[in-house]
């Protein structure tokens, strides 16, 4: 795994308008990136960021035409951070679960897959560079309060592993990022202690610069990674206990 220098780099970030993506965009600029392509479904949501190195592009990662347009607009990229994600948070028994699961898979798995297919040739032409997927510890062990979201992140983790092998032949480093609870809109309902998106972004860039292929960017994720490495089954039981405690607390509150 090759370390990637952030200073002077040309990077594309998906889902750059809020949460971890926004924090990553700001951190890249602060660390001296030469250019940052900041993408979002609504480009106007990035209108308050003012930097001559910033190029704002419209990009819905489920839209093949927008992906093609972004590829054409960014021929010089060296690092891609596939961050855009969605969690619709339905229980397995909800009537809308299947539709929500399809949407999560479209954004969280098929989106990064399409980006890989479309941008791998660009990275190869520019010397290899790096492709970074922002997953979740819930993709390693299912967090059952987000069952279908966790499944989509598990699919992304599997894709990341494959891409690491297959793109290595062209000199592209593939990094997987596995956060725990982060203080963003997506995790608003969680009662766990959460890490700020800014701290997560710093840890992600530190990991990329260190050539750390699996990045656990917050205290919860670091603790989880140690337990997962020692015993995946123990991690499964840990998450099951957390979910049970949350459900019990919700029932008591009601």
Give the Cα separation of 64 and 58 in Å (integer).
12
d(CA 71, CA 114): 11
Active site annotation includes 114: no
Distance CA 28, CA 11 (A): 8
Check 35, 37, 109, 149 and give the catalytic one: 149
178 is catalytic: no
Rounded distance between C-alpha atoms, residue 46 and residue 222, angstroms: 31
Question: CB of 200 within 8 A of CB of 218?
Answer: yes
Tokens standing for residue 132 = 């970074």
Count Cβ atoms within 10 A of the Cβ of residue 106 and give its class: 0-12 exposed, 13-18 middle, 19 or more buried.
Answer: middle
**DSSP annotation of 144:** T
Helix residue ranges, H only, 33-146: 64-73, 97-105, 111-125
Looking up tokens 């499944």 gives: 151
The CA–CA distances, whole Å, from 120 to 46, 70, 101, 124, 140 equal: 26, 13, 27, 6, 25
Rounded CA-CA distance 107/104 in Å is 5
| Helix (H) or strand (E) segment spanning residue 79 | strand 79-82
Do 146 and 184 meet the contact criterion of CB atoms below 8 Å apart?
no
- Which candidate in 35, 37, 109, 153 is catalytic? 153
By annotation, the residues acting in catalysis are: 149, 153
């Amino acid at each position: 795994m090759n370390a990637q220098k952030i200073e002077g780099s040309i990077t594309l970030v998906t889902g750059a308008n809020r949460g971890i993506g926004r924090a990553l965009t700001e951190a890249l600029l602060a660390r001296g990136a030469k250019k940052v392509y900041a993408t979002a479904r609504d480009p106007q949501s990035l209108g308050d960021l003012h930097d001559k190195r910033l190029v704002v592009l419209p990009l819905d990662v489920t839209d093949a035409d927008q992906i093609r347009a972004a590829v054409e607009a960014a021929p010089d990229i060296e690092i891609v951070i596939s961050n855009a994600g969605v969690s619709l948070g339905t229980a397995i028994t909800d009537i809308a679960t299947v539709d929500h699961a399809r949407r999560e898979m479209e954004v969280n798995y098929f989106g990064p897959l399409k980006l890989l297919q479309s941008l791998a040739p660009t990275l190869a032409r520019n010397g290899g560079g790096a492709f970074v997927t922002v997953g979740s510890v819930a993709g390693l062990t299912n967090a059952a309060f987000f069952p279908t979201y966790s499944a989509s992140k598990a699919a992304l983790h599997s894709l990341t592993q494959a891409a690491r092998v297959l793109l290595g032949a062209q000199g592209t480093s593939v990094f997987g990022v596995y956060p725990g609870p982060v203080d963003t809109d997506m995790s608003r309902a969680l009662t766990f202690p959460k890490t700020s998106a800014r701290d997560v972004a710093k840890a992600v860039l530190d990991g990329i610069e260190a050539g750390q292929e699996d990045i656990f960017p917050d205290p919860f994720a670091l603790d989880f990674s140690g337990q997962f490495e020692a015993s995946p089954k123990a991690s499964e039981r840990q998450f099951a206990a957390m979910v049970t405690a949350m459900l019990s607390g919700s029932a008591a509150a009601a």
